[in-house]
Structure 1
């Protein structure tokens, strides 16, 4: 079969159905074998190559990412998907009660703080992501038409206070270890978890230090989902990153339950992020 041959609706549906098996298993903490599932899928597609199937899975991940939903680990989102794929993903994944229950449970799952030391080996390069495609925004709007609840699992996970605190505690240990390694034990003792000691209104979570004693202000964003998952940032945090650009760091922790990794953005965040309005405070005038 030529690689240029358009995918039929039955092929797309079979691929999304296989993806659903992997996603539900992953969200539920259940072991599964991608290779076996994809081998069975390949038999249904009559000639599609393994690379073509993987590319389609990555397209599905992109649709889910743009819908603020978790996606299968290992299938990095690839955009420029067709609206026909959006419609199948909406029907078989976003409207699936099974996926919804698994995703809600994964977003709400509590986490306990670990005690192991962490060092620079957990640091990775930031991902390059793009704003959601228009089609995904449109089917978000369709939820109100069909009287379905908009299922924003990333927002739900953001309210998981145990997960957020565990991420902040990990960063506290990371910073302490970094300063001790630099021979700055006294600075390590002065670290302050300001989100706990002073509340959430400062625009950052942790006051740390550079080895020369300069402030290092750290905002921590934690997810148990994948590296490319979107996150939420407040106007106050953006303003703080601009006002204290020489000191500001955003630490994005991801894959937290499986094995935490992080990437860091430094300075004024305004030009480093794509930003999408989420809601407005309003009153009748």
Structure 2
């Protein structure tokens, strides 16, 4: 049989059964060996390679992920699967009467298994490395869209005492300039070390060293530089940013430790589960100095780089933003 022929019902059933046996073992914290499973399946169904079974397992993960059901650790969902596979998976679920779980419980179970593995190598670099590591170990695709990360839940990592980024949004309108390019030229400074025009700063309702500060007013937040109104955000823009990505958010606390190989390891210890952010609370937090805006602009050789207008809050103030919060220990 050629390897590019459609999978037979027998091959599909074998893959589905083996997948759920693997998932069941993982959920019981039992040791598993995916490679050995693929080899065994391939030795029985010789028309399919071990790699083919691995990819089929990822297809099964995709079916389960789309249905918001538990899926196996270490098997990133991969779409573009045949219809017969989805039918087989759903039929298996019906026959075995697998209990449905709230999405947050699926996430917590996965995080508890990750915590059980202790400190894991950090993936990625820069300020987003712990978030990338979390997505890697949860086996979910990296997400830069407006959609939430995990089955409708937005994921954020917390480490140290740095400010927590909520979202990035362009201003509703510029007031003292035409656009971000002109703002950089007018209000920026020359970075001698990197030989470029730059505007990097973080400020709340108190003036920073450059004179920028936030002013929460009725139905908008204004960015001022001393007595000059630079730009503003309508409350509708802020509400959309909060609700589109933060209607349901899990803030995962990360601790770090040096591994034996000298590299940094991370462990996921605690989860703050938050639901229903309040624009009213956000505006009051801004008035109280618990909301920050970061500018991240630079220009060199006529090209302006923008890493986003980042809205951030202190980590100990995150819960104040939401109508419902729950602290979950992952030990």
Q: Scaled by the length of structure 1, what TM-score is found?
A: 0.45
Which entry has the higher C-alpha Rg, 1 or 2?
Answer: 2
Q: Scaled by the length of structure 2, what TM-score is found?
A: 0.40
